[in-house]
Structure 1
């Protein structure tokens, strides 16, 4: 999504402003507030440099827009620390209700081939995201809720039906990130079901051998599962197919940086993501805020979500979402996705995982 103005932009800016006010009134002296100040400082320094160099106004507004979206996530993380468990529970229940209602539209779209409910309307590509506007939003939405449903199913004998609904939602989106997520969750669950390590090792070994033997057939099946697959694969190769041309965007961005960046840019960024967004999430953060900004970002994730030892499944799913964002982007630079990510993993931090599922 670029920095164009949409009606929803007003709501997003209002959300950032409200969180900013709450931060100034109640959170400005907290330990984690230091990270906010560093990120704001990096952005302001770059902004001043760009004004001095008479950078185009469109670039300044574009970077401001992307910064507001990125800083929203950090402001929200601090605000959520003041949330009571029951408030997070109500928010999660509301998200599940939205997901279940939207799943009805996904199924209707699939059964009656309704284009407006498709992930990629008016194309032959498979995928239905219901009334949620973008597949990049619905993918994270259903994946994150599937994580909650799965952990509740494993640790608290939660609803299997709810878990299946969320996984069905992920599948019908028709995105590569969704299919990767389903493969990971299936792999994890099989390891849990195989009670002895010898069985788990044998299963992993069988998977590796099967892939080596059937590699060409598996790659062919994956490529032909997408309408655009054969064309991209024949023209650009396997990596470009897997990354949906993002590797080509990365090559262009690298060329631009070599020609236009100095040492300062590598430290504090300065890229206009409207013009040179790669959608490898951590690459985009580096280009936007430099090495310092990327380091602060990762450090704050660690401080907030891993300030104490977490359950192994929590850690695996946290890394899974970061891995998917590293390949597909649109997590921290999307206010909707950042909100869901922050709420879900803040909620899961407190989940009771006393039941041992992998011994």
Structure 2
């Protein structure tokens, strides 16, 4: 019988699909793959088969999505990477070409640049805060994973979020996003057993 947690998961997946955001589809692909890999109820041979089907389904869906007119035009004019990353790679190259020793410090980040937010998480953190900022975030995430995250669902959520954050922006430097990320982790750690038993 389907429990409340499973119903909520289906609802979230459906709403996510309707969002039309490529990053969300990638996150769902990673999430499902990790859930299968971490599952103790599924045999290894079955895991390989299911993961293969998920990969084929995701690849097919991605090709269909990129075959839409808006993406086809972008692929023809700018290439595959530009279409997949919604021109973020182009903006990154453009911005990197503007960086000099006068407007950027490797340790602390940008000093004088008109545009610095590219919505590529790692690049944005480096531009805003430099190597010190990257080191601080790595230490924070390592401590969070090592000290707090123990249960399967929170591990899967954490890894999925980190993978997604590597390709898109706005997660770790927008306060509300960071708060929701932490609240979700704490909720998964504290209540997942109670929820699954309902």
Scaled to the shorter chain, the TM-score interval is 0.7 to 0.9
Q: How big is the shift at 1:285? A: 0.8
Q: Where in structure 2 are the equivalents of 1:241-252 lying within 5 Å?
A: 241-252=83-94
CA contact (8 A) 1:281 1:325 kept: yes
Aligned to 1:183: 29
Change (3 A) 1:174 1:274: farther
Mapped to 1, the partners of 2:21 and 2:66 lie a distance apart of 13
Match of 2:177 among 337, 341, 356: 337
In structure 2, C-alpha distance between the alignment counterparts of 1:274 and 1:306, rounded to whole Å: 38
- In structure 1, the residue matched to 2:65 is 222
1:236 corresponds to which of 71, 78, 81 = 78
Structure 1 pair 231–186 and aligned structure 2 pair: CA distance change class (3 A): same
| Residue 261 to residue 274, structure 1, CA distance change in 2 (3 Å) | closer
**Residues 62-86 of structure 1: per-residue CA shift (max 9 Å, x gap):** xxxxxxxxxxxxxxxxxxxxxxxxx
**Hey, what does 1:169 align to over in structure 2?**
15
Report the Cα offset of residue 162 of structure 1.
2.4
**1:194 Cα deviation (Å)?**
6.8
| TM-score of the aligned structures, taking structure 1 as reference length | 0.46
Residue 311 of structure 1, aligned match among 139, 151, 154: 151
Counterpart for residue 198 of structure 1: 45
Deviations 1:262-318 (A, max 9, x none): 8x8111112567612211112111111111111012211222343156224322321
TM-score (norm 2): 0.79
SS of the equivalent of 1:304 reads helix
Q: 1:300 to 1:185 in 2, by over 3 A?
A: closer
Contact 2:107–2:131 (CA<8 Å) still a contact in 1? Answer: yes
What whole-Å deviation, never above 9, does each CA across 1:199-240 have from its counterpart, x for those lacking one?
2134445666x59xxx7x766423124x52111111111111
Unpaired segments of 5 or more residues in structure 1? 1-152, 355-359
Question: What is the CA–CA distance in structure 2 between the aligned matches of 1:174 and 1:193, rounded to whole Å?
Answer: 32
Mapping 1:79-158, distance limit 5 Å: 157-158=3-4
Answer yes or no: is the 8 Å Cα contact 1:305–1:349 preserved in 2.
no
Cα pair 1:278 1:284 within 8 Å, conserved = yes
1:138-186 Cα deviation digits (max 9, x unpaired): xxxxxxxxxxxxxxx8xxx434332222222211111101222222333
Deviations 1:126-149 (A, max 9, x none): xxxxxxxxxxxxxxxxxxxxxxxx
Gaps of 5+ in 2: none
Separation (CA, whole Å) in 1 of partners of 2:44 and 2:116 = 46
